[in-house]
Chain A
Amino acid sequence: METATKTLTNTPALADRAYNIRRNALRMGEVQGQGYIAQALDISDVLAVAYFHAMRYRPEDPSWEGRDRFLLSNGHYAIALYAALIEAGIVPEEELETYGSDDSRLPMSGMASYTPGMEMSGGSLGLGLSIAVGMGLGLKRKKSESRVYTLFSDGELDEGSVWEAIQSAGHYKLDNLIAIVDVNNQQADGPSTQVMGFEPLVDKLRAFGWFVQRVDGNDLDAVIAAFDAAKSHPEPKPRMIVADTLMGKGVPFLEQREKNHFIRVEQHEWQLALAALEAGRQP
């Protein structure tokens, strides 16, 4: 199958991509002065592996029929996905400075009709997995080799609809569905495990008929291995990657900031954040 984007297999090259995604996200955050920046930083490694190692797509043709689909269920992570879409060449870099402004194709919350490469309209949480089930069924009907990837957040595990979809994906043995849940243990009202406990998550998901892996979502080698295993696993089951991540990853003073679901970063801090990211970059 043809793929226009080079599949990266070595960790340093993917680390560069992850760095660029974080950098793009911080630059967009600076435009608005605020945003779901801590989530963008935590999920950048997963997005780097998804877009530069695992998925097939054509940057110049985001609707290419043979692409792997990527559904962003947690629409507030749009800033992270835009950062990845810019890095992937699907969205032009110059649009970065329009983020969240009037007439921009990069609204604060991801919507399908606004942005090339955005496959669903999020914002209302708990929608993505249900759409993914339908897409997975549809791709199987078409005998397509494409896969459906969907990213959602641990807070969305509170939504009953997520479990409707989890149950049905197991029922329909959707082995073309790879879901990633970002366990950063932070949602609007506080730590996700305190807002509504969801552990033991792996056991629960396995009981629903999924092939489940739990990894450190900020360990690139582990994330690469998890995506590889999710793609090659032989059992006819949907695949879940439980990615434990660190909010603000890569910018130490943001990693340590409390109540960082929606953070305000002072104007002078953006340059500090970019500098801290640069300083922490692996040689």
Chain B
Amino acid sequence: MKTVRPAPQPGKPRLTTSAMIASIAAEGQKTRPAPFGHALVELARSRPDVIGMTADLGKYTDLHIFGKEFPDRFYQMGMAEQLLFGAASGLAAEGFMPFATTYAVFASRRAYDFIHQTIAEEDRNVKIVCALPGLTSGYGPSHQAAEDLALFRAMPNMTVIDPCDAHEIEQMVPAIAAHRGPVYARLLRGQVPVVLDEYDYKFELGKAKLIRDGRDVLIISSGLMTMRALEAAQALKDDRVDTAVLHVPTIKPLDTEAILREAGKSGRLVVVAENHTVIGGLGEAVAALLMRSGIHPAFRQIALPDEFLDAGALPTLHDRYGISTAEVSRQIRQWL
């Protein structure tokens, strides 16, 4: 028999789900609009081989900005993700460089075989750029791509990137274009926070960067969790906990040298923080690397649980599943 959830308690104040694509920016946070769309337009001015393609999600992946600027280089493939990636393979075979966009759930779950066979196996130069990575929608599991990194990490030939903010997305676009081969990149769209510009940060494909150093804790993180890690590090400072943050935007291939160098420094608690299920993402990649290399620091993971996540307001869900700034600092304090 079907079981449903108990009805909510009356009288308790509740946040509402603002939208399917709720912004991850905190109130008052510095943001930039549509960094991917603008960066792609910039790239396309000097790269006539750049093509934009989407499956009815141009507006929701910021690709509409490219489509407006280069209407004859933009292909609307309709709500058909298998076709989107198969056709992207065909265009790449003819020498073009398609940037194909949809939501992360549809690329990783619905079109996986098409990407595997027509793009990865054939090593086609297709850039797959996907919005709503991990838990960035309160819409429920249909739109929460908690397992996308695990799936694409497992795919041979695929480069996998989880950028942190608008600053990084702008730098990532020309960098993945300069790399010949298939790429899966997670996308933050709309009003995207700007964080890393204050740290003199520059994105390099395949490179992890130490954003801040610290003696007590090393947080290894990717994507928006680096933003959370930096905020948590600030909060932990008030408790005299000195926290380093190693940002690992390229999930595959992993920058093993930087990770081993930082995790190998003795005396620090190592925490891997990711906006992804605890299975198969950055945390397990780092854990396996450390085990293989004989480096055994105290090790913890901050990640989404292995379960279908709730629908609801994003701040509520980020608290509930431990990836909000407050929850990151709370967990780290508890582990020290």
Contact = CB atoms under 8 A, between A and B. Distances in A.
Interface of A: 111-113, 119-121, 123-124, 126-127, 129-139, 141-142, 148, 160-161, 164-165, 167-168, 171
B87 A134 contact: yes
B86 A138 contact: no
A113, A161, A171: which has the most chain B beta carbons within 10 Å?
A: A161
A130 B114 contact: yes
Interface string B49-63: 001000000000000
A132 B83 CA distance: 10
Contacts of B299: none
Nearest to B77: A168
Q: What DSSP secondary structure best describes chain A's contact surface?
A: helix
A64 to B, nearest CB: 14
Given A119-B93, A134-B91, A141-B94, A111 B121 contact: yes
A161 B122 contact: no
B128 to A, nearest CB: 14
B184 to A, nearest CB: 18
Contacts of B75: 137
A119 to B, nearest CB: 7
13 contacts: A111-B121, A112-B122, A113-B121, A130-B83, A130-B85, A130-B89, A130-B118, A132-B90, A133-B87, A134-B88, A134-B93, A136-B90, A141-B51
Nearest to A132: B90
Nearest to B51: A141
Contacts, number: 97
B96 interface: yes
Nearest to A168: B83
Contacts of A127: 86, 114, 117-118
Contacts of A120: 89, 118, 122
Interface of B: 51, 75, 77-78, 80, 82-83, 85-96, 98, 113-114, 117-118, 121-123
Nearest to A171: B78
A102 B87 CA distance: 32
A260 to B, nearest CB: 27
Nearest to A134: B90
Given A124-B113, A133-B87, A139-B94, 6 more contacts: A127-B114, A130-B86, A134-B89, A134-B94, A137-B75, A164-B80
Nearest to B48: A141
A131 B118 contact: yes
A161 B79 CA distance: 11
A165 to B, nearest CB: 5
A138 B113 contact: no
B117 A121 contact: yes
Contacts of B122: 112-113, 120-121
A142 B91 CA distance: 11
Nearest to B89: A131
A168 B87 contact: yes
B80, B85, B90, B113: which has the most chain A beta carbons within 10 Å?
A: B90
A165 B84 CA distance: 9
Closest 4 CB pairs of A and B: A134-B90, A130-B86, A138-B94, A134-B87
B92, B94, B117: which has the most chain A beta carbons within 10 Å?
A: B94
A135 B94 contact: yes
Nearest to A75: B117
B71 to A, nearest CB: 13
Contacts of B94: 134-135, 138-139, 141-142
A160 B82 contact: yes
A124, A130, A135, A164: which has the most chain B beta carbons within 10 Å?
A: A130
A263 B121 CA distance: 29
A120 B89 CA distance: 10
Contacts of A113: 121-123
Contacts of A126: 82
B304 to A, nearest CB: 30
Contact of A131 (B78, B87, B95, B96): B87
B86 A161 contact: yes
Contacts of A121: 117-118, 121-122
A135 B90 contact: yes
B82 A164 contact: yes
A167 B84 CA distance: 12
A250 to B, nearest CB: 32
Contact of A130 (B51, B90, B92, B95): B90
Contact of B90 (A124, A133, A142, A171): A133
Contacts of A135: 90-91, 93-94
Contacts of A148: 90
B231 to A, nearest CB: 43
A76 B55 CA distance: 29
